[in-house]
Amino acid sequence: MRRALLIGLASVALMAGAAEPTERLPDPAQEARARHLFKEVRCLVCQNESIDDSEAQLAGDLRQIVREQVKAGRTDSQIRAFLVERYGEFVLLKPAFSAGNAVLWLAPIGVLLVGGGLMFGLLRRREEQPVELSQDEEERVKRLLEDD
């Protein structure tokens, strides 16, 4: 049991120190800020992973750029703006709402509204049309009612 606990603790310690010591910033507060930013930046190779999770070489380069920016004393918003200027808005995992991407944000709502409107119109039209019986059907109904 003790051996399993030691192995588990060693595994956690290894995962916590995944970055090489030479890559980390000497100031723990700056490193924590950089790690927080890593989770907001998309790996341009993997595309659905943050640079914190990715092992791609480009993700490593982006991590280094973010660390350099943090070390230079730039704010988080300045670092994001720098990355967007250099790589485009796609580099952010959660891009800001802007006129350029408004269509992407609003298209799902528009599709739902148009689809709901079409469905409402079709169902309403279907209810409005009265069902008329032919002459033969009316006579058959009358005969059935008279037989009772």
Take residue 12 and report the two structure tokens written for it: 């956690």
Higher pLDDT, 84 or 3: 84
Domain boundaries of the chain, sorted by first residue: 19-96, 101-147
Higher pLDDT, 126 or 22: 126
- Average pLDDT in the chain: 82
Segment 77-97, tens digit of pLDDT: 999 999 999 988 889 888 777
pTM for the full predicted model: 0.57
At 17, the pLDDT band (50, 70, 90 cuts) reads very low
Kindly report which listed range (12-26, 93-107, 119-133) carries the lowest average pLDDT score: 12-26
Of 1.10.3720.10, 3.30.420.40, 1.10.8.640, 2.60.290.11, the CATH number of 19-96 is: 1.10.8.640
Q: Specify whether the backbone of 74 is left (phi greater than 0), alpha (psi in -120 to 50) or beta.
A: beta
